[in-house]
Every structure is written in structure tokens, then in C-alpha cells.
Amino acid sequence: MGSVEPTKFTWVTNSSTGARTRRVSRDAKWKARYRDPKGRAKNKVFDRKFDADKFVARVDTDIQRDEWVDPQRRRAGFDEWADAWLATTARLTPATRRGYEKTLRLYVRPTFGGRRIASIDWLEVELFVVALVDKGLGPKTCREAVSVLSLIMKTALRAKIIRENPASGHSIPVRRRRAPVLTMEQVHQFVDHADERYKPALWLLVLAGLRPSELCGLRVCDVDWPRRTLTVNETQMWVNGEMVVKPPKTESGVRTIPIPVWLIEQLAASLSARTQMYSIRPSGTDRMFVSPTGGPMFDHTLWRIVHNAQVAADLPRFRPYDLRHTHASLLIDLDAHPKAISERMGHSEIGVTMDVYGHLFQDKQERLTNDLDALVERTRHSSTSRTEGRGGGSVIPMDGSGSALKPGAHPR
């Protein structure tokens, strides 16, 4: 328990009893004393005894609730904790870490850098969100900026530097961009105009729903030729000037996908063509696809291949990743179960699938309504036929004794 005592006083002795009491000086202040959870002595000086008593009571309550924050640590700067949080992201994927660094550098530090982290409150963060929106930034960018700020604040909160996270509880409008999807007719038109060497790769994006990094990371040994399946084991991408090869970021990303016989034959033919071109037969550990120069293939290489094909086919602009969205759209059109779609896409849970592709399911509402209407009509006609077959019937009102009532009479 804390205590409060004056900073200036004199001892006065009662002449009759000999008892000594303290007489507080008029210019005295009041010192609040307490011990922190580690037993270290702390104090703070106030002008009024009332304020000192109130402070001690609050400190005692905070310590009991394990909510006490060291005043000295509250002086820590935002930049210091931003760097500390960034150091904790070392185990994340390079692409994710790069995105965090970019958001922190472009949006968060320019606003909160140089500040004490404990001085940032909820209203300031809300105004920060408003400023981002006023700059014309999209909802996704705004959410990422607030998310990074919230992660930094959460780190400080767990270290007991701040009492609460001022970056939580902010509402940012969500306008999910509907990714363009191709019809099967457009897919044929697109692949027909693609580089012959990469037609099997483009078909894998459409029919297996691979991510571009998964396609680039596919090895020859990942294809089970007799069973006509391929297994996603690795991803390959170019991040911050270097090649990064790693497993998929979730366990569900490691998956086995059946593929058609004709596509297996195309993959085998592409390997044979590569053997003739480079005079070296690809081994099982070699990549299934390489760049036009024979080196590793990355997503930016795939961008050029897709772009050249869509220009030649005179199709609207789309990204390589949109071919994965096209795969999901085709599965939904085939009435595939959402769980099967989720497993095939490598999503961690079915909720991710519904969040990303839920709008495609909404397009089926009209057909479902028509099917329900047809069901109602069929059952209505069937019910009418059964009633007519029994010769119809009527309801006769009865009185309390069980006798039929006369017309116009009322039951008692």
C-alpha cells in the first residue's frame, strides 16, 4: 500500500502530554510513496494532498489488477518501439515483412515518429485514418497502415508501456475490388495466343488454381506422372533483390491437386522440348518451368508472359493472380462445395474462401430462387391432384353435444 506525506513540516510537542505532532508548512507539497510490483520504491510529488491520495489509490488498484505502467518507461519513443516490433517480424515471410516495412516507412512513421508512444491517443489515430482517406488512399492501404500501427501498440501494451491500444476499434470502409475472371471461352482465346513454352503453365494457373509463386516453385518431382497429380511443396519469388524459396506459409498450402490427362501430356512434352533446347534433361529437383533465358522463373517473368498473351488475344487487362480467381469462379459455376474449393485453393479455412469469393456465390442467388420457385410449383400441383383424387371435402361446424349446427347458428 502507498502512503502520502508532506515535504515540509515541523515537529510540535504538546506541553501538557508531551506528545509530538507534525505541523505541515504552508508552502509544503505532498509526496506520494509506493512500491512497484518488483518492490522498488517510487514517489511522485503533488501540490495538493487530495491529488496525492487519489494517485496512491489508483496506483494500488493498478498494481492489484496487473495494469500498472512504469512512468519512466512511458517516456519511451514511438520509433524505439516501432523498431522493436519490426525486429519481431523476422520469422515472417520476406514478402510480408517487406510490406510491413513499406507501410511503416510511408505512412506510420511520418505521422507518429518522434513522439512518446504513451502520448498517442485514440482520437489521434482516428484523425490519422481520416487523413489517409482524404489523401485518396484505398481502404486496403488504410487498413494496412492502421494494422501496422496497432501491432506496434500491441507490442508496447504487452510490455506494459501503455494501458490500452489506441489503434484498435477504428472503422474503415471495406470496398473489396472484384477481381476480373475469365470465361472458359476467354481462357481458350488467351492460352491460344500465349508463348508455346508456357501454355501448360497457364493451364495450371487456370485448372489447378496455383498462386504465381507456387507455379514458379514447382519442381519436376512434384508431378506424380502415373497418378496425374501435382503437389505444392514450395514457393519461389524475388524479394528485395534476392531469390526467396520457402514452403507455403500455411499447412493447407501444401496440397495435392489432380490434373487432366491431356495436361500431364503437355507437361511431359514441354520437358522434352526443354531437353532438346538446352541439351540437358531436367532432373527431378529442377524447376518445372524456367525463364525464357533458362534461369529461375519469378512472378515478374510470369507477368510479362501473361501480358503478352492478353495483348495478342485482345483481352482486357488482368493479372496472373486473376487466373487463380478464374479457377475459383469455374469451380463455383460447377456447383463445387465450398469446402472442396477451400482445400483445392490451399486456404487455411473455409472462411477465407467465403471472404474472398463470397460475391461469386451471390451471383447464384437468382438461379437458386428460380429452382425454389419451380419446387413450389411442382409440389403445389401434386398436392392439388391428391386432394381432387380424394373427392374433396368440407368442414362442418358442431355444437357442444357433437350435433351439426344449423345454418346461421353459433356454437355455445
pLDDT at 304 over 80: yes
412 confidence band (pLDDT: 50, 70, 90): low
For 75-158, which CATH superfamily applies?
Tyrosine recombinase, N-terminal domain (1.10.150.130)
Nearest-angstrom CA–CA distance, 287 and 289: 5
pLDDT at 224 over 90: yes
Longest dimension (CA), the chain: 119
* Whether domain 184-362 has CATH 3.20.20.450: no
The whole-number average pLDDT for the span 296-305 is 92
pLDDT attached to residue 383? 61
pLDDT attached to residue 337? 86
Lowest mean pLDDT among 46-55, 77-86, 107-116, 252-261: 46-55
What is the b/e burial string over 313-348, where b = at least 16 CB atoms within 10 angstroms of the residue's CB?
bebeebbbbbbbbbbbbbbbeeeeebeebbbbbbbe
pLDDT attached to residue 193? 95
pLDDT attached to residue 167? 92
Which has more confidence, 182 or 338?
182
125 confidence band (pLDDT: 50, 70, 90): very high
Lowest mean pLDDT among 4-13, 38-47, 64-73: 64-73
Share the mean pLDDT of the chain. Answer: 85
pLDDT at 153 over 90: yes
Report the DSSP beta bridge partners of residue 44: 32
The three-state DSSP-derived secondary structure of the chain is CCEEEECCEEEEECCCCCCEEEEECCCCCEEEEEECCCCCEEEEEECCHHHHHHHHHHHHHHHHCCCCCCCCHHHCEHHHHHHHHHHHHHHCCHHHHHHHHHHHHHHHHHHHCCCEHHHCCHHHHHHHHHHHHHCCCCHHHHHHHHHHHHHHHHHHHHCCCCCCCCCCCCCCCCCCCCCCCCCHHHHHHHHHCCCHHHHHHHHHHHHCCCCHHHHHCCEHHHEECCCCEEEECCEEEEECCEEEEECCCCHHHCEEEECCHHHHHHHHHHHHHHHHHHCCCCCCCCECCECCCCCECCHHHHHHHHHHHHHHCCCCCCCHHHHHHHHHHHHHHCCCCHHHHHHHHCCCCHHHHHHHHHHHHHCCHHHHHHHHHHHHHHHHHHHHHHHHHCCCCCCCCECCCCCECCCCCCCC
pLDDT attached to residue 241? 81
27 confidence band (pLDDT: 50, 70, 90): confident
Q: Other C-beta atoms within 10 Å of 274: how many?
A: 19
**How do the domains of the chain map onto residue ranges?**
3-68, 75-158, 184-362
pLDDT at 407 over 60: no
pLDDT at 384 over 90: no
The whole-number average pLDDT for the span 112-121 is 91
The whole-number average pLDDT for the span 308-318 is 94
pLDDT attached to residue 312? 95
140 confidence band (pLDDT: 50, 70, 90): confident
Which has more confidence, 171 or 121?
121
pLDDT attached to residue 139? 84
338 confidence band (pLDDT: 50, 70, 90): confident
pLDDT at 36 over 80: no
Cell, residue 320: 496472373
The whole-number average pLDDT for the span 297-308 is 93
pLDDT attached to residue 397? 57
The whole-number average pLDDT for the span 190-202 is 95
Cell, residue 390: 380424394
Query: Do 75-158 and 184-362 share a fold?
Result: no
Q: Which of 35-44, 53-62, 271-280 has the highest mean pLDDT?
A: 271-280
pLDDT at 396 over 80: no
The whole-number average pLDDT for the span 378-407 is 60
pLDDT at 309 over 80: yes
